[in-house]
Amino acid sequence: MSEPISDRPLDPYLDILGLDLPPDRLNEALDSFRSVLEEIRKLRELDLTDIHPCVIFEPTAAYRKEPGA
Amino acid sequence: MSTTELWARPIESLAPAIRDGKLSPVTLTEAYLDRITRLDGKLKSFVCLAPDALKQARQAHEEIRSGSWRGPLHGVPIGVKDNYLTADMPTTAGTTAPGIEFARRDSAAAARLRVAGAVLIGKTRMHEFAWGNVTPPVRNPWNLDRVPSGSSGGSGAAVAAGLCAAALGSDTGGSIRMPASACGVVGLKPTFGRVSRAGIVPHSWSLDHAGPLTRTVADTAHMMAVLSGYDPADPASQDRAVPDYTRALGKPIKGYRIGVCRNHFFERNQEAVKQAVEAAIYDLAAQGAQVIELKIPNLEFGLAAIYAIELASSTAYHDRSLRAGRTAHFTPDVRTLVEMGRLVSAPDYLKAEQLRTVLTEDFRQALDKVDVIVGPTTPITAWKVWEWSVKVGTKSESVLAASWRFTFPYNLTGLPAVSVPCGFDKEGLPIGLQIAGRPFDEATVLRVAHAYERTHEWKDAMPAL
């Protein structure tokens, strides 16, 4: 568990994203993320307000029986 | 029967000989082990061989001799990608990072193969944690200076080189179909929910698929007969009847509606790929199929969606390793990808899942008009080892961006898609034709693939090693 969040300013990478990396690794990750972000920015432009995401909560899954049970 | 040619035979040829007592599984297993010993030093497709491979073969031999033939895979040596758990061999998922260990028990697919009497001959090499398309240090049997693609590169190379009769692969963005295309073999990503992933080291839960790589379409049908079916241990598994896939083979495709999506799938391909795939479409039409050109919208947003889902999921799976600092021991490319996943925001992830809904509907509408959608499996043939960008037309682009462009839409939509060989480029590198269909309609996909395959001789071509 990391230190409690006190009154100090939040670090967007460490506190919000949980990305606990030394500066050189963080820069590497950010630099590599550029091409991904370029694509994601296109997606952000789409209005998908009325679209249900492909994520379905299935409350009976835990009750599925093993074969032969 | 000459043992020197056994390794070149597909399961559809080996199985009757084994069943009729004309070929012993022991002889067959010895032939593959001998070939592995002679060739795998340069291919590096296996990470380990089953210590009891010959014992498994002898057991199959005895059973068959006593009249208990279990089916077409009985006594047939199969390679297993190293992210499938196996009881008798260690699993590494392609990593050498310390502190990461996997259980010694059979994955659902391995267990099904054992019940079918297959000889699990060894574990095939994969890109670390299935997070890549190169599979170092595996080499492509058609040209040892080229990659086999990935992440199931060991499986693709091993089947192409005749080191096993078939192999298991896994496919999150194209990892069965890309190496199948690059190595000149058949690779099927079944419908999401058709083949259990229980006991496969996860990469991205909602994108991962399990499936086979084989020499022929009929062999894929035989593998699917064993691998398919409901498994409550896989939350995505669906309880649906499994058809006899072999019954779809050898049937005419006259009147079948073949969809050709000209946007996305034909916008940027190497010239040899374009020509081979156009010729394949022409050949399908010559068999009486109706070619229907169509446009599927929103594909240009697919790359963002699969990046967001795959990165976020992989990072969530590797969270323990990240927090423990073990990712420092991952290979540099995989380490960066796993660290980078935390940069994907939750709204972006969910927007990606919303786009999946849109794409799934777009494909449903397309598949209302056609029976299958065909196109290239990849826009490029196998690239040189350590080459990170390739020229496609006049544009240079990264091999990662190019290689999975046509495969990942079917991971996002969960539709069945097969890659079947459809020719070679001028450097002798294989080209793959991708055929996709409706959910749980692998039978139609295989029927069309087989109709194409049997009117060509690509499946008989073997690399000179």
pLDDT of amino acid B357: 97
Residue B352, chain A, CB below 8 Å: the answer is yes
> For residue A69, is it within any domain?
no
> For residue A57, is it within any domain?
yes
Active site residue B81: yes
The structural domain count of chain A equals 1
Per-residue pLDDT of B61-95, as tens digits, reads: 999 999 999 999 999 999 999 999 999 999 999 99
Mean pLDDT score across all residues of chain B:
96
Per-residue pLDDT of B189-208, as tens digits, reads: 999 999 999 999 999 999 99
Of B156, B77, B80, B90, residue with least CA distance to B119: B77
With contacts defined as CB-CB under 8 Å, which chain B residues touch A53? 350-351, 353-354, 356-357
> For residue A50, is it within any domain?
yes
Mark which residues 6-35 of A lie under 8 Å from B by CB.
Answer: 17-21, 25, 28-30, 32-33, 35
ipTM, 2 decimals? 0.91
Of B156, B138, B159, B149, residue with least CA distance to B215: B159
Choose, from B175, B228, B313, B314, the residue flagged as catalytic: B175
> For residue A66, is it within any domain?
no
Q: Name the residue facing A40 among B308, B323, B339 (closest C-beta).
A: B308
Neighbours of B424 (CB within 10 A): 17
pLDDT of amino acid B203: 97
Per-residue pLDDT of B369-411, as tens digits, reads: 999 999 999 999 999 998 989 988 888 988 988 999 999 999 9
With contacts defined as CB-CB under 8 Å, which chain B residues touch A30? 343
pLDDT of amino acid B1: 47
> For residue A51, is it within any domain?
yes
Of B173, B168, B165, B189, residue with least CA distance to B126: B168
Q: How far is CA B163 from CA A14, B236, B339, in A?
A: 48, 32, 36
With contacts defined as CB-CB under 8 Å, which chain A residues touch B356? 53-54
Q: Region B423-445: what's the mean pLDDT?
A: 98
Q: Name the residue facing B352 among A43, A65, A66 (closest C-beta).
A: A43
| Chain centre to alpha carbon of residue A38 | 17
Active site residue B123: no
Choose, from B24, B45, B149, B151, the residue flagged as catalytic: B151
Half-sphere exposure of B463 (CA within 13 A, CB side): 28
Distance CA B235, CA A64 (A): 9
> For residue A33, is it within any domain?
yes
Q: Region B207-222: what's the mean pLDDT?
A: 98
Q: How many residues does chain A have?
A: 69
Question: In the structure, what pLDDT confidence band is assigned to residue A1 with cuts at 50, 70 and 90?
Answer: low
Treating both helix axes as pointing N-terminal to C-terminal, what angle do B302-317 and A23-44 enclose, rounded to 10 degrees?
140
- The radius of gyration computed from the CA coordinates of chain B, to the nearest angstrom, equals 20
Closest residue in A to B328 (Cα) is: A25
Per-residue pLDDT of B141-160, as tens digits, reads: 999 999 999 999 999 999 99
> For residue A67, is it within any domain?
no
Mutate to test the interface with A, among B196, B330, B351, B362 (most CBs of A within 10 A): B351
Q: Containing domain of residue A49, as a range?
A: 5-61
Reduced to 3 states, what is the DSSP secondary structure of residue B271? helix
The C-alpha of A9 sits at a distance from chain B's nearest C-alpha, in angstroms, of 19
pLDDT of amino acid A59: 86
Closest residue in A to B338 (Cα) is: A29
In a 10 Å sphere around its CB, with 0-12 CB exposed, 13-18 middle and 19+ buried, how is residue B70 labelled?
middle
Sheet with B372-376: strands ordered across: B46-49, B119-124, B77-81, B166-171, B209-214, B186-189, B417-424, B430-437, B372-376, B257-261, B290-294
Query: In the predicted model, is pLDDT for residue A69 greater than 50?
Result: no
With contacts defined as CB-CB under 8 Å, which chain B residues touch A29? 336, 339-340, 343
Residue A68, chain B, CB below 8 Å: the answer is no
With contacts defined as CB-CB under 8 Å, which chain A residues touch B340? 29, 32-33, 36
Distance CA B411, CA B125 (A): 22
Mutate to test the interface with B, among A40, A42, A48, A56 (most CBs of B within 10 A): A40
Are B336 and A29 in contact (CB < 8 Å)?
A: yes
Q: Name the residue facing B340 among A20, A32, A53 (closest C-beta).
A: A32
- CB of B371 within 8 A of CB of B437? yes
List the single range of B4-8, B301-305, B331-335, B453-457 with lowest mean pLDDT.
Answer: B4-8
Active site residue B151: yes
The C-alpha of B332 sits at a distance from chain A's nearest C-alpha, in angstroms, of 10
Which residues are bridge partners to B419 per DSSP?
A: B187, B434
Question: What 8-state DSSP symbol labels residue B194?
Answer: T
Residue A44, chain B, CB below 8 Å: the answer is yes
Closest residue in A to B237 (Cα) is: A61
Per-residue pLDDT of B161-178, as tens digits, reads: 999 999 999 999 999 999
Are A54 and B303 in contact (CB < 8 Å)?
A: no
pLDDT of amino acid A5: 74
Q: Region A26-33: what's the mean pLDDT?
A: 96
Query: In the predicted model, is pLDDT for residue B53 greater than 80?
Result: yes
- With a pLDDT cut of 70, the percent of chain B lying above it is 99
- CB of B186 within 8 A of CB of B418? yes
Mutate to test the interface with A, among B330, B343, B404 (most CBs of A within 10 A): B343
Question: In the structure, what pLDDT confidence band is assigned to residue B237 with cuts at 50, 70 and 90?
Answer: very high
Question: In the structure, what pLDDT confidence band is assigned to residue A64 with cuts at 50, 70 and 90?
Answer: confident
Q: Name the residue facing A65 among B206, B232, B339 (closest C-beta).
A: B232
> For residue A56, is it within any domain?
yes
Q: Region B424-446: what's the mean pLDDT?
A: 98
- CB of B40 within 8 A of CB of B46? yes
